Structure 1
Amino acid sequence: MVAVLLMTLASAVPSTAAGQAAPSGGLQRAFTNAAAEYRVPPQVLLGVSYLQSRWDGHGGAPSVTGGYGPMHLTDAATALAEAPHHSHGTEDPRGDTARVLRAGAGHPLERRAALPARLRTLERAAHLSGIPAERLRADPAANIRGGAALLADAQRELGRSPGGGAADWYGAVARFSGADDTATATAYADDVFDVIRTGRSRTTDGGQRVSLRAEEGLRPDRSAVARLGLRTADRTPTECPVTVACEWIPAPYEEFGEGDYGNHDRGDRPASQSVEYIVIHDTEATWDTTLRLVQDPEYVSWHYSLRSSDGHVAQHLRLRDVGWHAGNWFVNAKSIGLEHEGFLADPDAWYTEAMYRSSARLVRYLALRYGVPLDRQHIIGHDNVPGTLPSTIPGMHTDPGPFWDWAHYFTLLGRPFVATAGPGAAAVTIRPDYDGHRPVYTGCAGAGGRCAPHGSGAVRLRTAPDASAPLVKDAGLHPGGGDSTMGVNDTGARASTGQRFAVAERRGDWTAVWYLGRKAWFHNPRTRPVAVGTRAVLVTPRAGLPEVPVYGRAYPEASAYPPGVPVQAVTPLPYRLLAGQRYVTAGSTPGEYYRATAFDAAQHTVVRGEERYHEIQFGHRVAFVKATDVRVASR
């Protein structure tokens, strides 16, 4: 299968005529030297490394699957999390008080003594290269040599001597992926060779310029893949684009008796309800454990899982069905959930390029299929899903967190965040330079301790245009007047890449936006802006209303419910949208409630009212206001 890229990558080198810059940086030389030492074509070594890490070293910090350095050499033995993702905190992943999950729906994750080979490649690289493991983790040049040793060894295993042209290394690249099925291994190798054909050039997180010259006519020899002995994954009845390797691993729909069942709800989407959101999660569990949990009828569910090392996709639910994943029943009923493998206890981990690309292809396919807009009020993180009630806000999850690269992700989606209005626009899109923007975070390794410096797409918000001013408070996240913090999981004073906000004021190098019912300031110098002007539809309270309530779900009015379906309370969150304030809306939606509390799907009911809501970007999370409470202020 040829994995055809559907997305334009801003970092691509357009043609061979552009040539290969020959920077004197040590990292470029490290690739050249390692390629010569192990007789690996340099373009193959560069292509594999780009797909693993985009040539970044991440300061020796591990990825979400325990991978280190530019070659993503894995050493996950001591990096396992102690509990699966949906057992953290107090969030009910179903997010519906009409049916509470079983008390046992959350299983401790046992530590595993043995890990699959794909999570132990650093150990193998150390054996082949003679380089100590400590150096392979911390020294980018040594890490590159270790990766070259692995590629050369894979070539020998296929009965071929190292050396020769890049076209002869397709099988070795497929082996390097660690995939256990043919479709995933070939999709990975196709991506690497696409990088080689189109070329790349970028400045790494270490400040070094690395380039790979495009070889447009390169046609790899794929015959060696047949000798890898890989299995054939079952694609039926998956709902995946042909551009990703995908298999069907179904989640169970099982009745326990006395009206209890798990681990999802049968539905008939989009006939019954539209799909409006795609929710990005990380798993905080190994791939094997993730699959085991989603196949547990007493656990919870999501639609797709994506493997970090190679981007492999497993589908668990039919898209017409409703998963229990987001902690908000209104969002669950109208969303598709994607879990991305990641199981490090420390949340300052990084995600692989292979997973980003596979995820972006899948999301683009889903968005086209269901008409989901490719923007940050519809393609949302779990950390952007609102709490349903005041009491649920503090327990809402915070993944994928401030280190998910939304700018790169949306570039892969073909919708990069660019200015669509001038510098004096009424609204802005948050868009810091991910690699260079490194705000301080705490709590990655123990309470209060600083996280390792790391690129971030999140901007911190303050009460005044001063770097020493207090952070904006979040009355829902910190009830009782508690302060927002620099904690990596504290979203109370954070704006994320791609989110759009109405401008409240500008003062020198500082910009204020309306956020959680007040002005929130961030440093936005013209020489290095972290936000750009954008066109947007804004809403504000109707004339005569000093304030309007804000909601975490858009449920119908009481008169819309038929006999036998209990009315669901429309409970305001502990925030207010005040007169004179404006917020970006992604459009209006009718109030809806999906009544699904019985195993027999024939007893499920969609209640749709006359009341309409505007979804707004209110804080770090989205929220809803009644259309009757607001008016469209500007465009």
Structure 2
Amino acid sequence: MRRTLATTAIVLLPLLITPTAASAAQEPDERQQAFASAAERYQVPESVLLGVSYLQSRWDAHAGQPSNDAGFGPMHLTDAASFTGSNHHGEGEEDPRGDETRPLAVPKVAPVTQEIPASLRTLEKAAELTGESREALRADPAANIRGGAALLADYQKSLGAPLSQDPGQWYGAVAKYSGATEADAAKFFAEEVYATIQEGAERVTDDGQKVSLKPVPGVGKIVKWLEGLGLLHPRRDGVECPPTISCEWIPAAYAELPGDDYGHYDLSDRPRNQKIDYIIIHDMEGYWAPSVALNQDPTWPGSWHYSIRSKDGHIAQQIKTKDVGWQAGNWYVNAKSIGLEHEGFLAEGSTWYTEAMYRTSAKLVRYLAFRHGVPLDRAHILGHDNVPGTLPTTVRQMHEDPGPFWDWERYFELLGAPLHGFGGPNTASVMIKPDFAVNKPYFYGCDRKNPSAACPPLPASTVWLRTEPRADAPLVKDIGKHPTGESLYSVYDHSARATTGQRYAVADRQGEWTAIWYLGQKAWFHNPQSQPTAVPSLGLVVTPKPGLTTVPVYGRAYPEQEAYPAGIPYQAVTPLQYTFAAGQKYTLAGPAATEYYRAVTFDPASHTVVRGKTKYYEIQFGHRVMFVKADDVRVSIS
């Protein structure tokens, strides 16, 4: 989901982004030394300090920018009081249900702001313990690490546990660092930290710092310290989650409302009546507790199956997967998908997501994908920003989360389905796959106080697409998103972007530049051999059948009129404003079920799945997936 900028930003075209002065001045081992020094100063085992930091940030500094729940630096010290943001569930134009036969009104009243919990204000406590300024704790990685070490030592003392060099004695303090109020969530966080300590880790951070955690085989865990935290044991009520992660049941409201209305999801019987084909990744554009509360309000237009907290990865299941959430803005996709909302913001007051949340989200998605037979690829594990509009009139309204700073490559590694190339250097299809750590394209729009200002150089999963093979060429246009204007470099505009894991057919190559077919046009991106941003990806493609000049594309795979029984109104199969011409190719994700789920009443007795005979294919057409009729295209391998 997204939050639309109130101010139209000025389009800029920078050709070079230079590192910040702070990161440029750092020595290669400065981060490692900062961990060692802080561990010694506050009598915390270095392995514990490194392990906790890895679960929060993977040791990255993120140029001093806040995470999705206002956490800063390698230790993810939270300062939500200074970055309250907003909740966008009522701010976008998108109808989350996405079915014009039962449109939902967007509410005008913003949700009530809740009190900020202590877990989102740890930077204040770190400042008190260390004497460091809040500005230093946000921007200086070494100060931030000292703040995290001081917090761990303070937590250890509060438990009456010793300041021991035995990592196992710190289990309770590590669990408390998660900020969780639920016992399972705190335990999951601690278990992941100790698994990291036992296995070890090594990587180069986003600002070029080489950091390593040497394995500690057979590290002990004094689990009894967890008991002293007095944590809750929430309802599980048959949650559909793997047993290794922390989940609770906080049911979304389903209620009959005045005037034959109801809210705010639809009862169904999936997968008996419809197969689940997609899992949709969202961000909340808000904090966890208020967003969870919205899902409990039947008058609120919009709902989703799972809510995932940032700092510790705790999950609330709110709708059973058999039922249909109003979450993706496209009723066809909603009826065949499960929606996951992740705490945080696409960009406003946020530029990165925590490792703890990536891990639990990936474990949940892998569990759901295996359970429902959803392929672990980017054509079926979709961002909300990959879901198409249903009609030409709804294309502009579709949301754009989780945004360019979501690390799709890392996410698929955690899913156990790493993104790999397939084929030789001249293969006629490619998968977008820039190196996330070093790929730092220009964006503006990250600062709500100055929306036209450039974002800091930050890792991203996306590449810009241009009309010609040169760095100063204009961005390609999206006639659906901007019918009369240019694509923007805004962090909220994906009109001219391709993202990690997406597969496209190659249209041309010139030197260090590769062109793909994108929204009916050639789109060029920089793809140097020394630092490639795409890899070969041999697979099936579609092209117009001989004799057809152009082929229409659709935002949903609805049945033909003859398939509708009496009493169920025909849903017109309306092409979107895009077409593609003879000679163009688009990668094929597979067949799409020709279905319409009729569900517009509180009583599910009348709910019906209409199935047709028209065959559709799902293709990667632009940044979003779309559909074509099988009779219009020819399938080949490329």
Matched, 1:608 2:615: no
Q: Tell me the equivalent position of 2:593.
A: 590
Offset of 1:415 from its aligned partner? 1.2
Give the 3-state SS of the residue equivalent to 1:281 in structure 2. Answer: strand
Q: Tell me the equivalent position of 1:4.
A: none
Deviation track 1:473-499 (CA, whole Å, cap 9, x = no partner) reads: 00100013x111111111111000000
Tell me if structure 2 keeps the 8 A contact 1:70–1:144.
yes
Q: Tell me the equivalent position of 1:546.
A: 549
Distance (whole Å) between structure 2 residues aligned to residue 102 and residue 140 of structure 1: 45
Offset of 1:345 from its aligned partner? 6.6
Q: Tell me the equivalent position of 2:6.
A: none
Q: Tell me the equivalent position of 1:14.
A: none
Q: Tell me the equivalent position of 1:251.
A: 252
Q: Tell me the equivalent position of 1:3.
A: none
Tell me if structure 2 keeps the 8 A contact 1:80–1:345.
no
Give the 3-state SS of the residue equivalent to 1:169 in structure 2. Answer: helix
Give the 3-state SS of the residue equivalent to 2:594 in structure 1. Answer: strand
Matched, 1:438 2:406: no
Q: Which amino acid aligns with 1:283?
A: M
* Within-5 A mapping of 1:349-360: 349-360=351-362
Offset of 1:286 from its aligned partner? 1.5
Give the 3-state SS of the residue equivalent to 1:59 in structure 2. Answer: helix
* Within-5 A mapping of 1:224-303: 224-299=225-300, 300-303=302-305
Q: Which amino acid aligns with 1:95?
A: G
Q: Tell me the equivalent position of 2:472.
A: 468
Change (3 A) 1:344 1:508: closer
* Within-5 A mapping of 1:272-421: 272-299=273-300, 300-343=302-345, 346=348, 348-421=350-423
Q: Tell me the equivalent position of 1:135.
A: 136
Q: Tell me the equivalent position of 1:75.
A: 79
Give the 3-state SS of the residue equivalent to 1:611 in structure 2. Answer: coil
Q: Which amino acid aligns with 1:397?
A: H
Which of 101, 104, 110 matches 1:108?
110
Distance (whole Å) between structure 2 residues aligned to residue 244 and residue 508 of structure 1: 47
Tell me if structure 2 keeps the 8 A contact 1:102–1:298.
no
User: What TM-score results when the alignment is normalised by the length of structure 2?
Assistant: 0.94
Q: Tell me the equivalent position of 2:633.
A: 630
Deviation track 1:138-164 (CA, whole Å, cap 9, x = no partner) reads: 110010001000101111111122123
Q: Tell me the equivalent position of 2:495.
A: 492
Distance (whole Å) between structure 2 residues aligned to residue 522 and residue 617 of structure 1: 17
Matched, 1:37 2:41: yes
Offset of 1:216 from its aligned partner? 2.1
Tell me if structure 1 keeps the 8 A contact 2:29–2:209.
yes
User: What TM-score results when the alignment is normalised by the length of structure 1?
Assistant: 0.94
Distance (whole Å) between structure 2 residues aligned to residue 587 and residue 199 of structure 1: 40
Tell me if structure 2 keeps the 8 A contact 1:348–1:451.
no
Which of 519, 525, 529 matches 1:526?
529
Offset of 1:452 from its aligned partner? 1.4
Distance (whole Å) between structure 2 residues aligned to residue 164 and residue 201 of structure 1: 22
Q: Which amino acid aligns with 1:231?
A: L
Q: Which amino acid aligns with 1:465?
A: P
Q: Tell me the equivalent position of 1:422.
A: 424
Distance (whole Å) between structure 1 residues aligned to residue 350 and residue 444 of structure 2: 10
Q: Which amino acid aligns with 2:489?
A: M
Distance (whole Å) between structure 1 residues aligned to residue 83 and residue 611 of structure 2: 46
Tell me if structure 1 keeps the 8 A contact 2:344–2:350.
no
Tell me if structure 2 keeps the 8 A contact 1:305–1:338.
yes
Moved over 6 A (4+): none
Change (3 A) 1:188 1:518: same
Distance (whole Å) between structure 2 residues aligned to residue 249 and residue 612 of structure 1: 39
Change (3 A) 1:160 1:348: closer
Distance (whole Å) between structure 2 residues aligned to residue 231 and residue 540 of structure 1: 57
Tell me if structure 1 keeps the 8 A contact 2:162–2:169.
no
Offset of 1:107 from its aligned partner? 4.0
Deviation track 1:541-573 (CA, whole Å, cap 9, x = no partner) reads: 111101110001110000000000000011111
Cα-Cα RMSD:
1.2
- Deviates most, 416-425 or 605-614: 416-425
Matched, 1:144 2:106: no
Give the 3-state SS of the residue equivalent to 2:339 in structure 1. Answer: strand
Q: Tell me the equivalent position of 2:67.
A: 63
Q: Tell me the equivalent position of 2:159.
A: 158
Distance (whole Å) between structure 2 residues aligned to residue 596 and residue 89 of structure 1: 24
Change (3 A) 1:454 1:345: closer
Q: Which amino acid aligns with 1:586?
A: A
Give the 3-state SS of the residue equivalent to 1:597 in structure 2. Answer: coil
Distance (whole Å) between structure 1 residues aligned to residue 556 and residue 298 of structure 2: 27
Offset of 1:234 from its aligned partner? 1.4
Change (3 A) 1:345 1:77: farther
Tell me if structure 1 keeps the 8 A contact 2:541–2:637.
yes
Give the 3-state SS of the residue equivalent to 1:428 in structure 2. Answer: strand
Q: Tell me the equivalent position of 2:119.
A: 118
Give the 3-state SS of the residue equivalent to 1:573 in structure 2. Answer: coil
Structure 1 residues without counterparts, runs of 5 or longer: 1-22
Tell me if structure 1 keeps the 8 A contact 2:262–2:602.
yes
- Deviates most, 324-333 or 255-264: 255-264
Offset of 1:376 from its aligned partner? 0.4
Distance (whole Å) between structure 2 residues aligned to residue 140 and residue 212 of structure 1: 17
Change (3 A) 1:412 1:107: farther
Distance (whole Å) between structure 2 residues aligned to residue 620 and residue 344 of structure 1: 16
Q: Which amino acid aligns with 1:172?
A: A
Q: Which amino acid aligns with 1:244?
A: I
Change (3 A) 1:359 1:314: same
Q: Which amino acid aligns with 1:476?
A: G
Matched, 1:567 2:570: yes
Distance (whole Å) between structure 1 residues aligned to residue 489 and residue 165 of structure 2: 52
Q: Which amino acid aligns with 2:478?
A: D
Distance (whole Å) between structure 2 residues aligned to residue 583 and residue 344 of structure 1: 28
* Within-5 A mapping of 1:448-463: 448-463=452-467
Q: Which amino acid aligns with 1:530?
A: T
Q: Tell me the equivalent position of 1:170.
A: 171
- Deviates most, 200-209 or 158-167: 158-167
Give the 3-state SS of the residue equivalent to 1:610 in structure 2. Answer: coil
Distance (whole Å) between structure 1 residues aligned to residue 492 and residue 28 of structure 2: 39
Tell me if structure 2 keeps the 8 A contact 1:79–1:345.
no
Q: Tell me the equivalent position of 1:18.
A: none
Deviation track 1:202-236 (CA, whole Å, cap 9, x = no partner) reads: 00011010000111211311111111100112111
Offset of 1:102 from its aligned partner? 4.1
Structure 2 residues without counterparts, runs of 5 or longer: 1-26
Offset of 1:344 from its aligned partner? 7.6
Distance (whole Å) between structure 2 residues aligned to residue 590 and residue 340 of structure 1: 28
Distance (whole Å) between structure 2 residues aligned to residue 311 and residue 90 of structure 1: 29
Q: Tell me the equivalent position of 1:516.
A: 519
